[in-house]
């Protein structure tokens, strides 16, 4: 009799272990009930962005932020491409762009042409612009704004400040 009870109890425990957990089913249903995401993105309800870029871990020098956005490591520049969300029902969770590469700050993104660099022209040296009037500017030696004057502007500024405060 006791042996039969043990056998039934063991079978009951095994049956409970093999049955799916109702809590797990509710979580999976909540995840599946979310909006659609464009190709290359997966819906994650508890993320800060909704549609999370699936291949972020495969991009060199990239990682997920705390909101599960795909971002570049510090010291690298991000290269993005626009995401086509036409025909996808993701609402405000639709991503605008996807990270495609993390590059050196001076590098160029894939599909981007390098900025043109000016080429030195060795044929003729560049001459300074011609000055029509070679005479020096007309500045009198007593001009307070002219060169060579040792006028200290601080006392004048303090006096102006005092006068302004007295007027208030």
Cβ-based burial of 109 (10 A; exposed 0-12, middle 13-18, buried ≥19): middle
pTM reported for the whole predicted model: 0.49
For residue 51, the enclosing domain spans 2-103
The count of domains in the chain is 1
What integer is the mean pLDDT of 14-31? 54
Model pLDDT for residues 134-147, shown as the tens digit of each residue? 666 565 555 555 55
CA distance 165 to 168: 5
Residue 69: inside a domain = yes
Model pLDDT for residues 23-54, shown as the tens digit of each residue? 544 444 445 567 899 999 999 998 989 999 99
Encoded tokens for 132: 């029509």
Encoded tokens for 66: 């705390």
Residue 122: inside a domain = no
**Paired residues of 72 in beta bridges:** 62
**What average pLDDT does the chain have?**
78
Residue 108: inside a domain = no
Residue 110: inside a domain = no
Question: What is the structure's pLDDT at 29?
Answer: 42
Could you give the 3-state DSSP secondary structure of residue 62? strand
pLDDT-based confidence at 70, cuts 50/70/90? very high
* Per-position b or e across 133-161, b if 16+ CB within 10 A of its CB: eeeeeeeeeeeeeeeeeeeeeeeeeeeee
């Amino acid at each position: 009799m006791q042996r039969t009870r043990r056998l039934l109890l063991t079978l009951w425990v095994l049956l409970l272990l093999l049955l799916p957990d109702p809590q797990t089913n509710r979580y999976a249903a909540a995840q599946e009930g979310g909006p659609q995401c464009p190709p290359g993105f997966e819906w994650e309800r508890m993320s800060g962005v909704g549609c999370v870029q699936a291949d972020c871990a495969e991009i060199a020098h990239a990682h997920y932020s705390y909101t599960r956005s795909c971002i570049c490591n510090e010291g690298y520049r991000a290269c993005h491409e626009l995401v086509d969300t036409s025909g996808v029902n993701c609402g405000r969770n639709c991503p605008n762009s996807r990270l495609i590469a993390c590059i050196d700050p001076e590098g160029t993104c894939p599909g981007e042409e390098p900025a043109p660099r000016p080429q030195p022209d060795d044929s003729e040296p560049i001459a300074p612009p011609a000055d029509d009037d070679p005479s020096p500017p007309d500045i009198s030696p007593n001009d307070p704004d002219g060169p060579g004057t040792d006028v200290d502007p601080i006392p004048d500024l303090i006096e102006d400040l005092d006068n302004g405060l007295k007027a208030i």
